Amino acid sequence: MEKNKNIVKAVNKNVRSSPRKINNLLKNIRGKKADIAIRDLSFARQRIAFEIKKTVQSAVANAENNNQYDIDNLYVKEAFVGKGLVLKRFRPRAKGRASSIKKPFSHLTIILSEKETNVKGLHGTKG
């Protein structure tokens, strides 16, 4: 199987939020152009949008510096989140009991790809 050459990846490990909350934001940026995804994350109201935006910007910087891609042609090919470690804490409850509180972490992965531009089909003639 041939490895795809025009993809760039950025991974942000141990993000302090649950994968469920992060995936909610990632649904909105999948398939979008990189600059539009960054703009949308800038105006998102969730706290974790800042971390996702940093990861997308890191992937754009990787594409520009390491692979010399044109940043205007980049789009979010894949954006997914995985489970990280879980901190377990306890809170006191009534009658001497304790209840557990789970504080999940996540691993965030953004994969950008460069759109191929068709030079032949841009200025075709009618007929």
Kindly report the pTM of this predicted structure.
0.82
CA 28, 79, 59, 2 dihedral sign is negative
How confident is the model over 50-87, as pLDDT tens digits?
Answer: 999 999 999 999 998 988 888 888 999 999 999 999 99
CB atoms within 10 A of CB 53: 19
Note whether 75 and 38 are within 8 A (CB): no
pLDDT at 110 over 90: yes
Domain boundaries, the chain: 7-114
Q: What CATH number does domain 7-114 carry, 2.40.10.220, 3.40.50.720, 3.90.470.10, 3.40.50.620? A: 3.90.470.10
